[in-house]
């Protein structure tokens, strides 16, 4: 497929699996919606991967945006790195994490051991649903449709955003829903009717959104000194080859950006 984010994913994975396409572009590959002009990837948390990704992006003339350096010390604590470049009239933004939010260590390991391929490696449906539990309303609509694509009824029970779908699932597979209720409390109240399930779904969504806001606030607070210095540093990085800019980023971040938020 002639798409810049597909091609980049192939370049990141040249020779071995290093990068899994996530979020908005993965939603396209699952043929659900086209809703993001940026690309984001989950990277393998190892030095060779980061060196390969930096070298690949350097060939495209990429520059760092404000963010953490592509360095294990920060990525291993959930920070994100952001780069961009221009190509063929498009502004291509590349966002990276090694620890996507809300994804358990076991689920993360499974991504690397049994990757899903949709032309290129993409996150699995349940992991994509977890990543989409953001503080944006529109992401919950995507989760609703993602759940309908899941074949395993337990996963449907854990991720569905539809009261009607959950009631049908409960009627067809009560034992599966009962078992999943340990992980998702609202499932234990399906018998209370559609209106109550809808209320609980709304309540659950709002709680997830607040939780994500709290998580982001922690990072934004920890990045205060880094953000204050960034306008100056970004000028110093301007025009430099990416490898050199990366070294400068790491050196300055070591002074100003705590690895643990």
Partner 1 sequence: MSERRDEFLSDEDLDLENLSTEELEAYWRLWLTQAQGTNDVDQASYSHGVFDRDPAVSE
Closer residue to partner 1 in complex, CB, 182/239: 239
- Closest approach of partner 1 to the CB of residue 15, in Å: 25
Smallest distance from partner 1 to CB 225, Å = 11
Q: Which is nearer to partner 1, 65 or 199 (CB)?
A: 65
Q: Which residue has the tokens 């060779």?
A: 48
Burial tier of 122 (Cβ tally within 10 Å: 0-12, 13-18, 19+): buried
As a whole number of angstroms, the distance between CA 196 and CA 210 comes to: 21
Instruction: Supply the minimum distance, in Å, between the C-beta of residue 207 and partner 1.
Output: 19
Nearer to partner 1, 179 or 214 (CB): 214
Nearer to partner 1, 98 or 124 (CB): 98
Smallest separation (angstroms) from partner 1 to the CB of 112: 20
Residue 240: phi and psi, rounded to 5, are -85, 150
Half-sphere exposure of 109 (CA within 13 A, CB side): 3
Measured from the CB atom, the residue of 113 and 255 that comes closer to partner 1 is 255
Distance CA 54, CA 190 (A): 49
Q: How far is the CB of 224 from partner 1 (least distance, A)?
A: 10
| DSSP at 44 | P
Q: Residue 199's CB: how many other CB atoms inside 10 A? A: 15
Comparison of 77 and 154: residue with beta carbon closer to partner 1:
77
Which of 25, 23, 26, 92 minimizes the C-alpha distance to 56? 92
Phi then psi dihedrals of residue 13, to 5 deg: -100, 15
Give the shortest CB-178-to-partner 1 separation in angstroms. Answer: 22
Residue 109 C-beta: closest distance to partner 1, Å: 22
- If the CB atoms of residues 140 and 180 are measured against partner 1, the closer one turns out to be 140
- Residues of this chain that interact with partner 1 (CB under 8 A) are 1-4, 22-24, 28, 31-34, 36-38, 40, 65-67, 78-82, 89-91, 93, 95, 97, 141-142, 144-145, 161-165, 215-216, 219-220, 223, 227-228, 230-231, 234-235, 261
E strand residue ranges, the chain = 19-22, 39-43, 63-64, 81-87, 90-97, 116-118, 120-122
Q: Which residue in 131, 179, 123 sits closest to 156, CA to CA?
A: 179
């Amino acid at each position: 497929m002639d798409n810049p984010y597909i091609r980049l994913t192939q370049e990141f994975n040249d020779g071995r699996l290093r990068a899994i396409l996530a979020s908005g572009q993965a939603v396209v590959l699952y043929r659900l919606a086209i809703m993001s002009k940026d690309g984001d990837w989950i990277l393998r948390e190892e030095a060779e991967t980061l060196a390969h990704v930096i070298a690949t992006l350097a060939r495209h003339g990429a520059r760092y945006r404000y963010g953490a350096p592509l360095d294990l010390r920060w990525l291993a604590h959930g920070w994100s790195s952001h780069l961009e470049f221009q190509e063929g009239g498009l502004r291509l933004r590349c966002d990276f994490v090694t620890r996507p939010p809300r994804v358990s260590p076991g689920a993360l390991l499974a991504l690397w051991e049994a990757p899903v391929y949709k032309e290129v490696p993409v996150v699995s449906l349940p992991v994509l649903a977890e990543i989409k539990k953001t503080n944006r309303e529109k992401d919950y609509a995507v989760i609703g449709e993602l759940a309908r694509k899941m074949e395993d009824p337990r996963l449907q029970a854990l991720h569905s955003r539809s009261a009607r779908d959950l009631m049908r699932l409960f009627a067809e597979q009560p034992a599966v829903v009962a078992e999943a209720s340990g992980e998702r409390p609202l499932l234990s109240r399906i018998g209370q009717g559609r209106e109550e399930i809808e209320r609980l779904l709304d309540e659950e969504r709002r709680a997830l959104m607040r939780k994500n806001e709290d998580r982001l606030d922690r990072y934004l607070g920890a990045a205060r000194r880094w953000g204050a210095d960034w306008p100056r540093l970004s000028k110093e990085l301007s025009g430099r080859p990416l490898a050199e800019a990366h070294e400068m980023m790491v050196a300055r971040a070591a002074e100003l950006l705590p690895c643990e938020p």
